[in-house]
């Protein structure tokens, strides 16, 4: 941005009056910050009175496309350091609750006790500190079951305890859907279910019809839900 011809407060006041709704914008942050700093130096912002400071702030906001609050923050940076620069971001660092030694100690406990379940391991860790006074277990005595499993899945833990294998769920089929082949023998049932539908937010009943394929012996029942709890009485 080049406004070298604007050298007095009267000139920028006349500019703001005549600009109307005309808006400007800087090309990038470096240009905006550099131009803002040069403008504050040119008009000796620190020595101006309150009305003139407000005039310069409005001029900066209009020329850069910044909001009033953004322009104010840049000016505050200039007043504090003599420069207009982006505020450095300080990432907050939280203290590490558990250490590498804690992970290694957990791996040692698991090896010693045969890789017990999370709740059982948690009880051992609590007892080591609270009952036997082992200072090394101070942090692990407060560990959650979920954190135990997270550590067990970490690379650092696996290096110390190669015998641990995560639990692998085994699918157990609860039934097989196929056409009966009774071959003349009774006891093969055909089960049909029909849901009567919901009404006014209330769940409807399930109607169950069981028919023996050979004898045609039939049972009709109704249940609120298709689950073991409701079907055993039926």
Full DSSP string of 25-82 = --SSHHHHHHHHHHHHHHTTGGGS-HHHHHHHHHHHHHHH---HHHHHHHHHHHHHHS
Adjacent-strand bridge partners of 33: none
pLDDT, tens digit (0-9, with 9 covering 90-100), for 145-188: 999 999 999 999 999 988 877 766 666 665 666 776 778 888 88
3-state secondary structure of 192: strand
Stretch 23-29: mean pLDDT: 72
Check residue 19 and report its DSSP letter.
Answer: H
Asked if pLDDT for residue 2 goes beyond 70, the answer is no
3-state secondary structure of 210: strand
Q: Encoding tokens for residue 16?
A: 């703001």
Res 131: pLDDT: 92
Res 157: pLDDT: 93
Res 147: pLDDT: 93
Q: 57: which residues sit within 8 A by CB, 6+ positions away?
A: 68, 71, 72, 75
Stretch 195-207: mean pLDDT: 79
Res 21: pLDDT: 65
CA–CA dist 60, 2 (Å, integer): 13
59 within 8 A of 22, measured Cβ to Cβ: no
Check residue 163 and report its DSSP letter.
Answer: T
By percentage, how much of the chain surpasses pLDDT 70?
Answer: 83
Stretch 40-64: mean pLDDT: 89
CA–CA dist 88, 141 (Å, integer): 39
Confidence band for 93, pLDDT divided at 50, 70 and 90 = low
Asked if pLDDT for residue 22 goes beyond 70, the answer is no
Stretch 106-123: mean pLDDT: 93
């Amino acid at each position: 941005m080049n406004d070298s011809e604007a050298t007095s407060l009267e000139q920028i006041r006349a500019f703001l009056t005549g600009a109307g709704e005309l808006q400007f914008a800087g090309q990038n942050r470096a240009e905006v910050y550099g131009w803002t700093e040069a403008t504050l130096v040119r008009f000796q912002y620190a020595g101006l009175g309150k009305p003139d400071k407000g005039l310069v702030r409005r001029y900066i906001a209009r020329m850069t496309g910044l909001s009033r609050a953004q322009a104010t923050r840049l000016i505050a940076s200039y007043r504090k350091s003599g420069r207009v620069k982006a505020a450095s971001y300080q990432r907050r660092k939280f203290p590490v609750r558990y250490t590498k030694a804690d992970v290694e100690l957990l791996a040692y406990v698991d090896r010693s006790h045969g890789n017990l379940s999370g709740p059982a391991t948690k009880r051992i860790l609590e007892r080591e500190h609270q009952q036997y006074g082992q200072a090394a277990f101070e942090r692990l005595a407060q560990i959650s079951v979920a954190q135990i499993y997270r550590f067990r899945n970490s690379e650092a833990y696996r290096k110390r305890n190669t015998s641990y294998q995560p639990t692998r769920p085994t699918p157990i089929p609860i039934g097989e859907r196929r056409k009966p082949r009774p071959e003349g023998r009774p006891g093969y049932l055909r089960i049909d279910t029909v849901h009567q539908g919901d009404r006014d937010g209330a769940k409807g009943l399930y109607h169950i019809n069981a028919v023996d394929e050979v004898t045609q012996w039939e049972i009709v029942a109704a249940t609120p839900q298709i689950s073991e709890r409701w079907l055993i009485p039926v």
